[in-house]
Structure 1
């Protein structure tokens, strides 16, 4: 949880910037703090609405993804290692996004009133927020790499695309992200902070008592590198080579694939690039490389509040991008809904029509069909 709330009190100049928590024994030059009334006033109105909306959409979408994957896996009658690689990553992605969404109501309540859930819940929710933000983005990179192996190296990568290997990769990602979230667990606490005038507000945040600027710059650097730059490079590399390999496909197939590839990369960049840019600007200010004073700090704080909410909306968009764009996924979802409504006869007729239609239109490509026919995603 790097920036659930605006950054610490920014001051008129970085040279006059005191220790973050006024640690005893730290020499500092006194300087008048910048006013933050407008920052907290805006966050109290903006954040609860966005968090609540993202929570509802993310829970509904990712629960549907989990239900469809479970139904599809049961119909395949296979063990854990018989599960599709794509569906393995999609399953972990949905779990990660769902857990991330479940923390949002707590922070929505925090902005509406203040943190009222106690010290233990603060630490756990802060660690869960960080854990699932990192893991969700890294699982997106894994899905991109799996598509790259399935399409670009369809024949030679058969031995590499083993589902048990995917389970090991997912476990490794969880362990790495758990280690990263350990910092949040260790330093997250509930503290009273001034929000203007004589008012104080109990906030659940990461607080560093020693060398706060250095710690925060380090954490923001990790967030930018592991949470944006590295996954983006993987996605761009994979999808550029995927598109090159599709040049031999029909014009219609190529156009549909291009739209999907552009949408995947564009949504990821649009959701997380602004937040990481403001994180970078905040780090430059802490390092003293930018001295914009109160106005610059106010813009950075306001930008972090807005762009973090935009980034969090990605966990609600993932089910649409990686699930509902798939014809097979939509078919499984429709089947599940109709079975719940008892329309089995109509469902069988629909299946026959869809099978005939698929025979007429053909497959995406021979290599793609061969390597993803057991995935509910495509």
Structure 2
């Protein structure tokens, strides 16, 4: 029996385009994903956003610090006579300001490359992490202080002592300093290929041993301490505050409800997307979620965009916790009057008086103090 010989015509009839596409697909499964598109997007997006957030955060938080300093100098009794909310707002403004000062450095990095050396790379990375954690925890402290002042107004007098608040702030700074130690230990300046035949120096965290375990662990700590725990504290405190105001007047209740919803909503809107992408990235690294290079690019770009949204919270804090307060606007007007004189401020003074009559006409000053979150509560 003759052996079966292959049909040479059919054997050589190959679609080479399809074969090449098949080989590229198979190679892409084992080859590392290219990062050129991500770096190109970051170089167009990050410098603009970081610069804008830096300007807004510096202007807003410097005004808050100036008003708090002016108001503090006008009071008597020393540091422990300063109100609790003012104490937390002071540390919050300092934290947001320090965080904002690191943004121009990273804006320069993405616009060009890192040109500030290894020492400043580690310091700026540590400041970035330190103030991101501390800012969110100070927001939780403000929520807890409002909870004690409104829900437990009678029994919490000895707890709501400014010296106790200073101790709490010191503990928060120390805890966040420990958390930022990862940045000091692992931040490095490395050359990264950002395009064909092109590389740039970037200041990033590089884990030399067990990188997956380190990245996932840091992500989980960030999600728990930087979002989950503060959110639970804020939700619990503000729900209890709203329940305690159920017997208040209708106008007072509406104002308190709007303020509570705005505080929690802005916090969630700013930080929830970033933490969701952090979780997805952790699951992707652990292999719990499968995805190709396109999915990985979506996660990386989403993390970059949502991180900038979260950072914008440091520019929104002065609006939420400062400018909504009647007393803050009054002190700001007085400060401007002292700097610029009487000319041009008569109209502002008349508007301020009309605004005060509208806001204080329906409920007493004690009620206003307990339902507004401002620099001077």
TM-score for both structures, normalised by structure 1:
0.88
Cα pair distance change 1:122/1:257, threshold 3 Å: same
Pairwise CA distance, 1:357: 6.1
Q: 2:238 touches 2:260 (CA, 8 Å); kept in 1?
A: yes
Provide the aligned C-alpha RMSD in A: 2.5
The residue correspondences of 1:355-366 to structure 2 (distance < 5 A) are 360-363=361-364, 366=367
Partner Cα separation in structure 2 for residue 115 and residue 349 of structure 1:
48
2:70 aligns with 71
Partner Cα separation in structure 2 for residue 83 and residue 320 of structure 1:
21
1:298 aligns with 297
Cα pair distance change 1:372/1:48, threshold 3 Å: closer
Residues 293-319 of structure 1: CA deviation (Å, up to 9, x unaligned): 212111100101100000000000000
Pairwise CA distance, 1:114: 0.3
Partner Cα separation in structure 2 for residue 243 and residue 130 of structure 1:
33
Partner Cα separation in structure 1 for residue 365 and residue 46 of structure 2:
42
Pairwise CA distance, 1:132: 0.3
Partner Cα separation in structure 1 for residue 74 and residue 347 of structure 2:
16
Which one has the largest radius of gyration?
2
Partner Cα separation in structure 2 for residue 358 and residue 150 of structure 1:
20
Deviates more, 1:330-339 or 1:148-157: 330-339
Partner Cα separation in structure 2 for residue 358 and residue 292 of structure 1:
55
The residue correspondences of 1:160-239 to structure 2 (distance < 5 A) are 160-239=159-238
Q: 1:189 touches 1:206 (CA, 8 Å); kept in 2?
A: yes
1:369 aligns with 369
Q: 1:72 touches 1:376 (CA, 8 Å); kept in 2?
A: no
Partner Cα separation in structure 1 for residue 144 and residue 316 of structure 2:
20
Cα pair distance change 1:252/1:356, threshold 3 Å: closer
Cα pair distance change 1:120/1:362, threshold 3 Å: same
Unaligned runs of 5+ in 2: 1-23
Give secondary structure in 2 for the equivalent of 1:202: strand
Number of aligned residue pairs: 351
Give secondary structure in 1 for the equivalent of 2:199: strand
The residue correspondences of 1:6-25 to structure 2 (distance < 5 A) are none
Structure with more relative contact order (C-alpha pairs < 8 Å, separation 6 or more): 1
2:287 aligns with 288
Q: 1:68 touches 1:336 (CA, 8 Å); kept in 2?
A: yes
TM-score for both structures, normalised by structure 2:
0.88
Point out 4+ residue stretches in structure 1 off by more than 4 angstroms.
344-359, 370-373
Pairwise CA distance, 1:362: 3.0
Cα pair distance change 1:35/1:88, threshold 3 Å: same
Pairwise CA distance, 1:37: 1.6
1:341 aligns with 340
Q: 2:87 touches 2:166 (CA, 8 Å); kept in 1?
A: yes
Partner Cα separation in structure 2 for residue 356 and residue 259 of structure 1:
20
Partner Cα separation in structure 2 for residue 358 and residue 311 of structure 1:
32
Give secondary structure in 2 for the equivalent of 1:296: helix
1:91 aligns with 90
Pairwise CA distance, 1:348: 12
Q: 1:115 touches 1:203 (CA, 8 Å); kept in 2?
A: yes
Residue 141 of structure 1 pairs with residue 105 of structure 2 = no
Deviates more, 1:357-366 or 1:65-74: 357-366
The residue correspondences of 1:288-327 to structure 2 (distance < 5 A) are 288-327=287-326
Q: 1:249 touches 1:365 (CA, 8 Å); kept in 2?
A: no
Partner Cα separation in structure 2 for residue 355 and residue 273 of structure 1:
36
Unaligned runs of 5+ in 1: 1-11, 18-29
Q: 1:191 touches 1:202 (CA, 8 Å); kept in 2?
A: yes
Pairwise CA distance, 1:198: 1.6
Residues 125-181 of structure 1: CA deviation (Å, up to 9, x unaligned): 000000000000000000000000000100011110010000000000000000000
